[in-house]
Amino acid sequence: MSIDITFRGPLFDGRAERAIEDACDDARDDIAAYAEERVLMGTAANFKTRTPYYETRVTTTRVSSEVSLVHDQGVIYGPWLEGVGSRNAPVTRFAGYHFWRAAKQAVAVRGPQIAEIAVRRHLPEMGG
């Protein structure tokens, strides 16, 4: 007596694994795009005279397969604008706009929802 067992479906042929990787990539990219958008919303709300230089320097770089970094490409006056520069408190009365801090807080609140939406988009590929 013998029994033949055949495993079929997304879990066994690799489709589910690829879908999970795609969902993770999409979640990371969507969260980074949201963070970049929040930073740019902060600059738009706070800058009285908007010049495009700083805003065009805000970008997202994929650091590794798990990490994307939203940054201002090292603009020299970026820390001063945020309010964390060495010249903020002792030299000037300007406390900074804190748009990076606000973006980080917004991502902490909304990030899980954004990731869930990305995963739900890929559920059919996972067999769910």
> Is pLDDT above 80 for 87?
no
Cα–Cα nearest to 72, from 62, 60, 63: 60
The DSSP result for 40-85, as a single string, is HHHHHHH-SS--HHHHHH-EEEE-SSS-EEEE-TT-TTHHHHHT-S
User: CB within 8 A of 128, min separation 6: which ones?
Assistant: none
Whole-number pLDDT of residue 127 = 80
**Cα–Cα dist 83/73, whole Å:** 17
What would the pLDDT profile of 1-35 be if each residue is shown by its tens digit? 888 888 888 878 888 889 999 999 999 999 999 99
Average pLDDT of the chain is 91
* Of 123 and 127, more confident: 123
pTM of the model: 0.87
Quick: pLDDT tens for 57-77.
999 999 998 999 999 999 999
Looking at per-residue pLDDT, the higher value among 55 and 1 belongs to: 55
